[in-house]
Chain A
Amino acid sequence: MNNQYYSKLIFELSREGRQGYSLPRNEFVNHNLCDMPAQLLRQQEPKLPEVDELTVVRHYTNMSNNNFGVDTGFYPLGSCTMKYNPKINEDMAAHPDFTGLHPFQPAGTADGALEIYYNLQHSLAELSGMKEFTLNPFAGAHGELTGLMVMRSYHASRGEGETRRKVIVPDSAHGTNPASAAVCGLEVVTVKSLADGTVDVDDLRPLLDNTVAGMMMTNPNTLGIFERNIATIAAMVHEAGGLMYYDGANLNPLLGRCRPGDLGFDIMHINLHKTFSTPHGGGGPGSGPVGVREGLERFLPNPRVVKVSDDDGDSFMIQHGEESLGCISAFLGNFGVIMRAYAYILTLGHEHVKEVGPLATLNANYVKESLKDVYELPLDVVCKHEFVFDGLKDKSTGVTTLDVAKRLLDYGFHAPTIYFPLLFHEAMMIEPTETESIETLDAFIEVLRKIAGEASENPEMVKTAPHNTPVRRLDDTKAALEQIVTYQFE
């Protein structure tokens, strides 16, 4: 079967009377759901599909063929750290001694799970130079929000909760930074970048006063440039009574070379689904642990996992702290993701985890140096894990970054992050990660050079790309206008 153009919806495969399940017999039929008062039961049956098991298996297997993942091919998506997701991690996360654990286990029946949770907290603290971590946040943006709640709790504990409500965010920051600040009830103030993409210290200075709660930064920044003035910036913010927040989206290149805690940051989050190799799953589940420096750990969200040592050895307990900012999750976050990340750290050990940053950085610089003669490189300096091109060097063809991105799909590569950061009109943000070989990078470089050639020789072909994908370029406007977000039955 040629399944490339397979696109029926599961609802269109449904036939009255088919079923894809088997359940045990009901041995207690004397107690019948029909005894429930009728006004509490649904009147209209849900239109869920009626399909046999093989139909379900084929349907979703065929759909997976219309998808692209890291296991399919190279995924140079900037700021997303699409590294290889090791298979042993998946096996460990599916371990039956863990997957059946209920959050309300009697004491002493989930000690193995608590030990893993604690050990990962501890490992992340060591890797980042922070004092303590919580693994409860579900994603990077959730970690940002949690970290900002820590920031506000700290100021509140000093009687400055109401006066310190401003958070400073660079104009190059990830969009979640200002959005998280707004959800947390903070006012966002933007600080400008210099021509080299780093924070303008002169623009920052007048913004710092006793209304500032703190500053959010990622380092290296979204242009892949290390903020060399970070120590000065941190000192200025601390001087003004604010706290420094580290957005861990770009942590990967620092592994083995630098720790945010040593750079002057007070609070940070880590994306386990970026730096610590857990799969992105098409958008989630992720995990966004939050770390804090000494003195702030009492504000971390409940519940907390702590170690208790006595004559019998170490044991691990769930605690609720009095000064905590509160709960930001039902329980201990995405435990399945936490197990994967810990398996990764155990696999690399201290001797290999330190190689991650330098190799990711080398891969990025290699690609940058190999293409800067045909793509516009606004900042010709050593980058870290990623870098940004401002479109093709030759702008006369009318071929845009979007066109180049779509044409890459034809050649079997995922596109870079495009039109971000907003500092350039034709931004293409490329992050190769450390798990890619020189052969893969060379193939990618060759294709991007070829596309640059096509842009001059046959621009129309590039502008109408992709040509070889399961579907062609999509009509975004139509989707927004018609707002069809569910299947239209009959």
Chain B
Amino acid sequence: MAYKYFPHTQADLDVMLGRCGMTSLDDLYQDIPDDLVFKREYDLPDAMSEAEVRRYFDELGRKNVRLTCFAGAGFYDHYSPSVINHILDRSEFLTSYTPYQAEISQGTLQYIFEFQTMMAQLTGMEVSNASMYDGTTATAEAMMMAVSAAKKRNRVLVSATVNPLVRRVLDTYAKFHGVVLDEIAMDGGVTSFDDLKAKLAEGDVAGVIVATPNFYGIVEDYTGWADACHEAKALLIMHCNASALGVLKTPGEWGADVAVGDGQSLGIPLCYGGPGVGFLCTSKKLIRKMPGRIVGQTTDANGQRAFVLTLQAREQHIRREKATSNICSNQSLMALYVTIYMSLMGRKGLREVNELGYSGAHYLAKRLVESGKFELAFPDKPFLNEFAVKTEEDLDMLGTIGALNDINIGVRIDEDTLLICVTEQRTPDEIDQLADLLITPFSTDAEDDSQA
């Protein structure tokens, strides 16, 4: 019976079964009615040695293609410093559970406290929770938080410029949770302030959800939005790109009540979309309405500073169906990931990351527009490192040619629009290569390949 993950020898089994007054492992299941017992072999592959497992993943890995990434749309290819993975491999962090036993979990509790501090600093808000699953579900939690804070009102407005990946999740949660979700129209790539005011005037609004930067990469001007929302007693919820907050005006500075998003852009590898790390920050006065775990500072019996899970009376294991949320965990290890990232980068590193993205993206946009084959989808709107271009070229074909040249050219968001993102990972050569490819697709080496 002994296998590399099971230490039980036959001698062990005999002793242990003897202690239980049994003679075989079957005796342990005598309480299960025979007709419910599974009797055949599982239809699964034979056990693999470690070398075979490795070969299997290598083989499947060869069916993927490593591409130079100009795609964004919610997932960003930023550089991840070596330090981070080495620390994350510390199995005292990796193999621990939620820090219920605070005396032997100060490592986890302290980095969560640091994470909360950094996220509050980054978003310009007063408090943060210990992290959430991802950016889409964190936004859904913020929507439900607004409805819960408003008591009787259950209508939430969401800008048409919010990432559709977030919007789809909001639609699902709204449908089942009984939230009426209405859209605020887009006007030239930004959310219409007039439409917001008109919809607020209709009444019953608990919350308003907008994005910075928005789905099209545009940095919107939310001057006056917080006042308009607060006049209508609605919470202003801002979905953000965490990395961009290193330079962009923060939700706190715009006067928002809740800041949410995904911290994936803080150096977490793309990994086919997960894990990332959701965050939710708010004001002190809303802390009891906040979903998720929270770590607080206290002292131990010796008066020494220490950290502990706090405000647990909001949570499911105590409040059951009356809890603020059903969430009972956080994305702890990924919170550690971005905490180390922010420690290494600091405010200056984060600023430089954004400067590099800005410069590369604007250089690329200029080249594409100057070619005459592309135009900015929203020409007069400011963007950071992601932008939408329109073209009459066949975007599917360009995508295929790109893939043949090991480039992911960006995300096609409709028939004639391509969303392109440039991070600090993209070298000048790569940026020029993409521009050449998009402008003159058939003068590159790809021509022969694509027609072969």
CB of B424 closer than 8 Å to a CB of A: yes
Q: B61, B301, B340, B349: which contacts A98 (Cβ < 8 A)?
A: B61
Q: Which residues of B contact A188 (CB under 8 A)?
A: 320-321
Known interface pairs A67-B96, A182-B322, A437-B7. Does A475 touch B133 (Cβ–Cβ under 8 Å)?
A: no
Is the C-beta of A307 less than 8 angstroms from some C-beta in chain B?
no
Instruction: Tell which of A204-212, A240-248, A360-368, A393-401 binds the partner.
Output: A360-368
**A327 and B172 within 8 A (CB):** yes
Q: How far is it, in angstroms, between the C-alpha of A31 and the C-alpha of B104 when the chains are bound?
A: 50
Partner of B326 from A44, A176, A361, A474 at Cβ < 8 Å: A176
What number of A-B contacts does a CB cutoff of 8 Å give? 691
CB pair A345 B44 closer than 8 Å: yes
Q: Would you list which residues of chain B between 280 and 295 have a CB under 8 Å from chain A?
A: 284, 287, 293-295
Cβ B19 vs Cβ A472 within 8 A: no
In the assembled complex, B192 has its CB within 8 A of some CB on chain A: no
- A486 proximity list for chain B (CB < 8 A): 113, 116-117, 120, 126-128
- Residue contact A473 to B334, C-beta cutoff 8 Å: no
Compute how far the CA of A369 lies from the CA of B118 in the bound complex, rounded to whole angstroms: 49
B270 to A99, Cβ gap below 8 A?
Answer: yes
Q: Which residues of A are found within 8 Å of B249, using beta-carbon distances?
A: 39-43
Question: Given A36-B219, A301-B172, A471-B304 in contact, is the A98-B311 Cβ separation under 8 Å?
Answer: no
* CB proximity of A29 to chain B, nearest CB, Å: 6
What B residues does A72 contact at CB under 8 A?
91-92, 95
Closest CB in chain B relative to A206 CB, distance in Å: 20
Residues of B close to A417: CB separation below 8 A: 100
Among A24, A26, A48, chain B packs the most CB atoms within 10 A around the CB of A48
State whether A126 touches B44 (Cβ < 8 A): yes
Measured in the bound complex, the distance between the Cα atoms of B298 and A471 in whole Å is: 11
A265 to chain B, nearest CB (A): 11
Minimum CB–CB distance from B94 to chain A (whole Å) comes to 5
- Contact flags B317-338 to A (C-beta < 8 A → 1, else 0): 1111111011111111110100
* A295 within 8 A of partner (CB): no
Interfacial chain A residues near B50, Cβ < 8 Å = 88, 347
Indicate whether A149 sits within 8 Å of B176 (C-beta atoms), given known contacts A48-B121, A365-B20: yes
Contacts of B166 in A (CB 8 A): 330
Assess the A349–B48 pair: CB atoms within 8 A.
Answer: yes
Q: How far is the CB of B199 from chain A (nearest CB, A)?
A: 23
Q: Given A41-B247, A285-B275, do A358 and B25 touch, yes or no (CB 8 Å)?
A: yes
Contact of A100 among B31, B69, B99, B326 (CB under 8 A): B69
A470 vs B305: C-alpha distance in the bound complex, in angstroms?
11
B360 within 8 A of A: yes
Known: A474-B308, A485-B116. A32 touches B359 (CB 8 A): yes
Interface residues of B in 87-109 (CB under 8 A from A): 87, 89-108
Chain A residue numbers with a CB within 8 Å of B6 are 352, 355-356, 359, 434-435
CA of A346 to CA of B46, assembled, Å: 7
A241 to chain B, nearest CB (A): 20
CB-based contact B176/A102 at 8 Å: no
Q: Is the CB of A483 within 8 A of B296?
A: yes
Contact with A along B46-85 (1 / 0, CB 8 A): 1110101110111111111111010101110101010101
C-alpha gap A75/B6 in the complex (Å): 16
User: Which A residues, 41 to 96, have Cβ-Cβ distances below 8 Å to chain B?
Assistant: 41-51, 53, 56-57, 59-61, 63-72, 75, 77, 80, 82-86, 88, 90-92, 94-96
Assembly CA distance A329 to B301 (angstroms): 43
Do the beta carbons of B274 and A101 come within 8 Å of each other? no
Assess whether A179 is in contact with B320, with CB atoms less than 8 Å apart: yes
Given contacts A361-B29, A409-B104, contact A101 B270 (CB under 8 A): yes
Task: Determine if B368 is an interface residue (Cβ-Cβ < 8 Å).
Answer: no
- The stretch that binds A, out of B134-142, B227-235, B370-378, B443-451, is B134-142
Q: Look across to chain B and name the residue whose beta carbon is closest to the beta carbon of A29.
A: B359
Query: Most chain-B CB neighbours within 10 Å: which of A7, A26, A40, A405?
Result: A40
Contacts of B306 in A (CB 8 A): 7, 471, 474
Q: A230 near B: Cβ within 8 Å? A: yes
B interface footprint on A1-32 (CB within 8 Å = 1, 0 otherwise) = 00001010111000000011101101111111
- The one of A286, A325, A346 in contact with B53, judged by C-beta atoms closer than 8 angstroms, is A346
Q: Are B408 and A182 in contact (CB under 8 A)?
A: no
Residue of A nearest to B9 (CB): A438
- Shortest C-beta distance, A490 to chain B (Å), equals 13
Contact present for A144 and B326 (CB under 8 Å): yes
Measured between beta carbons, the chain B residues less than 8 angstroms from A106 are: 67, 399-400, 402-403, 408
Q: How far is the CB of A450 from chain B (nearest CB, A)?
A: 19
Kindly report which residue of chain B lies nearest to residue A182, judged by CB atoms.
Answer: B321
A462 within 8 A of B: no
- Against B, the Cβ 8 Å flags (1 = close, 0 = not) of A268-295 are 0000000001011111111000000000
**A116 contact set on B, CB distance < 8 A:** 60
> If A19-B349, A282-B332, A479-B297 touch, does A115 touch B63 (CB 8 Å cutoff)?
yes
For the complex, what is the distance from the CA of A110 to the CA of B322, rounded to whole Å? Answer: 42
Fill in one digit per residue for B386-409: 1 if any A CB lies within 8 Å of its CB, else 0.
Answer: 000000000000011011000010
Q: Name the interface residues of B116-163: CB closer than 8 Å to any CB of A.
A: 116-118, 120-122, 124, 126-128, 130-131, 133-137, 144
State the CA gap A135–B110 with chains docked (Å): 31
Give bound CA distance, A348 to B136, whole Å.
35
A149 x B362 contact (CB < 8 A): no
A259 to B40, CA, bound (A): 11
Given contacts A330-B74, A365-B28, A381-B31, are A370 and B403 in contact (CB under 8 A)? no
With a cutoff of 8 Å between Cβ atoms, the chain A residues found around residue B93 in the complex are 64, 67, 69, 281-282
Please determine whether A282 and B399 come into contact, CB atoms closer than 8 angstroms: no
The minimal Cβ–Cβ distance linking B26 to chain A, given in whole angstroms, is 8
Within 8 Å by CB of B169, from A19, A36, A327, A466, lies: A327
**Contact, CB under 8 Å: A335 / B273:** yes
Give the distance in Å from the alpha carbon of A116 to the alpha carbon of B63 in the complex.
Answer: 11
Residues of chain A from 123 to 155 with CB closer than 8 A to chain B in the complex: 123, 126-127, 129, 138-142, 144-145, 148-149, 152
CB–CB B223/A42 < 8 A: no
Is B301's CB under 8 angstroms from A473's CB?
Answer: yes
B133 touches A466 (CB 8 A): no
- Say whether B101 contacts A68, CB under 8 Å: yes
Cross-chain contact B223 with A349 (CB below 8 angstroms): no
Task: Say yes or no for B221: interface residue by CB 8 A criterion.
Answer: yes
B214 contacts A by Cβ under 8 Å: no
Are A355 and B1 in contact, with the CB atoms below 8 A?
yes
- A185 within 8 Å of B (CB atoms): yes
B1-43 with Cβ < 8 A to chain A? 1, 3, 5-8, 12-13, 15-17, 19-21, 25, 27-33, 35-38, 41-43
Contact of A282 among B5, B38, B96, B362 (CB under 8 A): B96
Q: Contacts A102-B69, A282-B336 known; A51 to B343 CB distance under 8 Å?
A: yes
User: Which of chain A's residues has its CB closest to B410's CB?
Assistant: A104
Query: Whole-angstrom distance between the alpha carbons of A363 and B20 in the complex?
Result: 10
Check if B269 is an interface residue, CB within 8 A of chain A. Answer: yes
Are A329 and B354 within 8 A (Cβ)?
no
A68 lies within 8 A of B105 (CB): yes
Q: Are A92 and B106 in contact (CB under 8 A)?
A: no
Chain B residue contacts of A425, Cβ below 8 A: none
Cβ-defined contact, B31 with A228, below 8 A: yes
Rounded to whole angstroms, the CA-CA distance of A31 and B48 in the bound complex is: 54
Most A CB atoms within 10 A — which of B102, B172, B334, B424? Answer: B172
Give the CA-CA distance A38 to B441 in the complex, in Å. 38
B300 interfacial by beta-carbon distance below 8 Å: yes
New A-B contacts (8) at CB < 8 Å, excluding given A40-B221, A330-B273: A51-B344, A103-B75, A139-B327, A149-B172, A230-B36, A327-B169, A328-B137, A474-B103
* Pairs A–B under 8 Å by Cβ, sample size 25: A26-B359, A28-B360, A28-B362, A33-B354, A47-B347, A57-B83, A69-B91, A82-B97, A91-B54, A123-B44, A129-B38, A138-B331, A179-B320, A182-B326, A230-B36, A286-B329, A330-B75, A331-B274, A343-B57, A346-B56, A352-B47, A366-B19, A409-B104, A474-B306, A480-B311
A-B CB proximity, top 8 nearest: A97-B61, A349-B47, A281-B333, A67-B107, A326-B172, A69-B95, A331-B273, A283-B332
